[in-house]
Structure 1
Amino acid sequence: MITQKIILEDTTLRDGEQTPGLAFSTEQKLAIFDALIKIGVRYIEPGIPTMGGDETTALKAMLERKDEALLVAWNRGVRQDIEAGLALGFRAVHIGLPTSRHHLEKSLGRDRTWLIGRATELIKFAKDQDVFVSISAEDVGRTEIPFLQDYAGAVTAAGANRLRLSDTIGIMTPQTYAERVRSVRSVSDIAVQCHCHNDYGLSIANTLAGLEAGATYFHVCVNGIGERAGMPDLAQMTMALKKLYGIDLGIDTTALVALATLVSETTRQPLPIWQPIVGRNIFAHESGIHAKGMLKNAGTFEPFQPDEVGGERRYVVGKHSGRAVVKHVLEGQGVTVDEDLLPACLETVRSEAVRIGGLIEPDILLAIYQTIKTSSGRVRPDTKV
């Protein structure tokens, strides 16, 4: 159960762009940014100021609209990074720092005393500039709970507004992630943000568990893009919260398919047809039992209506189709169907579907029906069906 107010923060333009091999142009970043604003996203992590160059150009343009959303600049745990973001005009900054011994010792060559000192120093510096300060506990899955609690206490005392619990390599379960959230909340009133990677396909489950445990903020990316296996998908989180938890985030869900399509085209990565919420097959029906049920009642085999997300229902013909959907598709082609011919038509449809290894397009179905009708002697070869 989620009773607290929760806030979706999109990081498509930061963590999403860190997808290996992906680089957005300024124009592309601004197009995605505009689409996010239009659908109602009000917290956005748009990039990394210290990168300079085209990144700075894009961030400056986005900051012209900073009254429409809180823009959070991502920074390493380095003062110069934070200064770069502040110089551009950001009113919210995030400081990325690891808390696991694995990352501290093997990646940075530092210890936990250094970490708490650095975190405290940077938080106080940023707070002196009167900005919203978010800070990470990166690799939280390999961070012992007692130290995580010590760290949470230290960053809270230093004045941080938010603690991001980053399952950096996606190794946590819903139970262990929720435990980390509860452990922080038991020692501090700091707002907690969920940042869950999808290496085991658990990013959405972990995020929901974190929110149930009391987290306030959570990260998403459009189409679930991001490093390695990516991040929680914006559309999936939005609809899961709306339909399964009764929480409306203020997102225009009717634009979710259009947004997913935009990012798919921008990343040059086809959207899987079975992608939850926005995939082309989400509202497609082939199976005889399913299609027959849907033709009688549109709520039979769909969890919500396609127009809620900007999708489109389709009835398709293939190996598993039954007479009802074959008749429906033929009628859509303007045919007055002779039901006595449906068994033979269906037999041919199934054989052809196996032969081609896919669906039977409506024009091919029409040709099959015409051939069967002609061979049955019910119509002369030159007669229109």
Structure 2
Amino acid sequence: MRNDIIIEDTTLRDGEQTPGAAFSFHVKTDILNGLLDAGVRWLEVGIPAMGGEELKFVQSTVERQDENTHLVAWHRGVREDVEKSLDMGFKTIHIGLPTSDNHLKASVRKDRSWLLGTAKSLISMAKDRGAFVSVSAEDLARTEGGFLQEYAGAVHEAGADRLRLSDTIGIMTPEQYGERVRLVREAAPIDLQCHTHNDFGLGLANTIAGLKAGARYFHVTINGIGERAGMTDIAQAAATLQLRYDVDLGIDLTKLTRLSRLVSAATGRQLPPWQPVVGDNVFAHESGIHANGMFRDTSSFEPFPPDLVGGKRRYVLGKHSGRALVAWALEEAGVTPRPELLVPCLEEIRSRSIEIGGEVSPAEAVEIYNRLAA
């Protein structure tokens, strides 16, 4: 991979396009503050053309731009929309344009000549006003390869700073996505951005494939929220790239769990406990074998310590627990267990777990033990 990879968060734009999600001005401000606090320096903040409270929020972010903080306003391929954002003072703009025949015909009802002309005109206008200009190749998967190369060459020649390669409906495999990045790199020396949706659960894998093929930027959202099945998750991407690929993204991983909880509350959608990196069960241990190993060496059943991502380790009493975990739980509650009572106590805890279909609380474990001891 390159040594200058840049993470850009789009929770406030693509993320809020999650069906049923709607962020207030104050919620969007909290999310923006949380991302900046975590070290994210490129953020897509919204769609000014929506007007209303969306426009109010987007306008409020303009003054927070500086040489290290790049706030991106998103636009359709409409000149007036782009001009209004430039008039507001945005220094970084993105223009969303479809490149597949499917989307040109069904979405915007235009042809390739319109696309090329519009892209060149808008890029040239924005560059003349000193902006950093990003432009899309939307529906990358269904864009014919030869035309994709022609388009990449055209937007580069017009002065675009970046080309976003959007797997809009999430149908590409990592092999296919990486090959598309290589194809575009052959056509034009323009920085590329990965934008990968997660319809088949391949968002992160496709992003990594794109970065390995030479892309510089990539898109994420908190909790992987977004249209349909969402897109690449910031926690999974940041932890994977920083811990497994030694890529320094400048992200404070300890902030990831807090960000996840913030957006979970904002969307009214609880994460599954097995959500990678930030889920409640990522550092939870119930199995007797696992607990025994953890008591001796926490690295035995954890890939990294919980405090690295702002998480917490916990031990769970249930159907699969063993005597060591029962003894530990009782001791943590201030009870010194008699060895001969551990097996019957464990048996009752297992039966209770099956009865309730889940975790037995430490308080209930103490009650079971005290009853047996009496």
Query: Same fold, TM exceeding 0.5?
Result: yes
Q: Following TM superposition, by how much is the alpha carbon of 1:107 offset from its aligned partner in structure 2, in angstroms? A: 2.2
1:240-279 deviation line (CA, Å, top 9, x unaligned):
0011101121111111111111111111111221111111
What is residue 268 of structure 1 aligned with on the other side? 268
Q: Give the conservation status (yes or no) of the 8 Å contact 1:177–1:206.
A: yes
What is residue 365 of structure 2 aligned with on the other side? 365
CA distance in 2, matches of 1:128, 1:290: 61
- Residue 322 of structure 2 corresponds to residue 322 of structure 1: yes
What is residue 381 of structure 1 aligned with on the other side? none
* Structure 2 counterpart SS, 1:87: helix
Q: Give the conservation status (yes or no) of the 8 Å contact 1:221–1:234.
A: yes
* Structure 1 counterpart SS, 2:294: helix
CA distance in 1, matches of 2:220, 2:88: 24
CA distance in 2, matches of 1:84, 1:22: 26
What is residue 36 of structure 2 aligned with on the other side? 37
1:1-385 equivalences in 2 (<5 Å): 2-67=1-66, 69-374=69-374
* Structure 1 counterpart SS, 2:229: coil
Letter in 1 for 2:354: V
* Structure 1 counterpart SS, 2:3: coil
Q: Following TM superposition, by how much is the alpha carbon of 1:328 offset from its aligned partner in structure 2, in angstroms? A: 0.8
What is residue 380 of structure 1 aligned with on the other side? none
1:73-100 deviation line (CA, Å, top 9, x unaligned):
1000110110121121100110100010
Structure with larger Rg:
1
CA distance in 1, matches of 2:116, 2:139: 15
Q: Following TM superposition, by how much is the alpha carbon of 1:338 offset from its aligned partner in structure 2, in angstroms? A: 1.1
What is residue 379 of structure 1 aligned with on the other side? none
Number of positions where the alignment pairs a residue of Structure 1 with one of Structure 2: 373
CA distance in 1, matches of 2:48, 2:125: 17
Q: Give the conservation status (yes or no) of the 8 Å contact 2:235–2:277.
A: yes
CA distance in 2, matches of 1:14, 1:281: 29
**Which segment is superposed worse, 165-174 or 117-126?**
117-126
Q: Give the conservation status (yes or no) of the 8 Å contact 1:139–1:168.
A: yes
Letter in 1 for 2:3: Q
Q: Following TM superposition, by how much is the alpha carbon of 1:294 offset from its aligned partner in structure 2, in angstroms? A: 0.5
**Which segment is superposed worse, 101-110 or 288-297?**
101-110
1:356-381 deviation line (CA, Å, top 9, x unaligned):
0000000001111111111xxxxxxx
Q: Following TM superposition, by how much is the alpha carbon of 1:106 offset from its aligned partner in structure 2, in angstroms? A: 2.2
Letter in 2 for 1:81: D
Q: Give the conservation status (yes or no) of the 8 Å contact 1:8–1:217.
A: yes
Q: Give the conservation status (yes or no) of the 8 Å contact 2:2–2:216.
A: no
* Structure 2 counterpart SS, 1:134: strand
* Structure 2 counterpart SS, 1:326: helix
CA distance in 2, matches of 1:228, 1:370: 51
* Structure 2 counterpart SS, 1:64: helix
CA distance in 2, matches of 1:72, 1:155: 18
**Which segment is superposed worse, 260-269 or 157-166?**
260-269
CA distance in 1, matches of 2:159, 2:120: 8
Q: Give the conservation status (yes or no) of the 8 Å contact 1:195–1:219.
A: yes
Q: Which runs of no fewer than 5 residues in structure 1 stay unpaired?
A: 375-385
* Structure 1 counterpart SS, 2:164: strand
Instruction: Quote the RMSD (CA, aligned, Å).
Output: 0.9
Letter in 2 for 1:30: T
CA distance in 2, matches of 1:78, 1:63: 21
Q: Following TM superposition, by how much is the alpha carbon of 1:109 offset from its aligned partner in structure 2, in angstroms? A: 2.0
CA distance in 1, matches of 2:192, 2:2: 15
CA distance in 2, matches of 1:154, 1:60: 31
Q: Give the conservation status (yes or no) of the 8 Å contact 1:75–1:82.
A: yes
Q: Give the conservation status (yes or no) of the 8 Å contact 2:139–2:167.
A: yes
Q: Give the conservation status (yes or no) of the 8 Å contact 1:4–1:214.
A: no
Q: TM-score, normalised by structure 1?
A: 0.95
Q: Following TM superposition, by how much is the alpha carbon of 1:125 offset from its aligned partner in structure 2, in angstroms? A: 1.0
Letter in 2 for 1:259: L
Q: Which runs of no fewer than 5 residues in structure 2 stay unpaired?
A: none
Q: Following TM superposition, by how much is the alpha carbon of 1:3 offset from its aligned partner in structure 2, in angstroms? A: 3.2
CA distance in 2, matches of 1:250, 1:3: 15
CA distance in 2, matches of 1:37, 1:61: 15
Q: Give the conservation status (yes or no) of the 8 Å contact 2:306–2:312.
A: yes
Q: TM-score, normalised by structure 2?
A: 0.98
CA distance in 2, matches of 1:364, 1:247: 46
Q: Give the conservation status (yes or no) of the 8 Å contact 2:45–2:72.
A: yes
Q: Give the conservation status (yes or no) of the 8 Å contact 2:2–2:211.
A: no
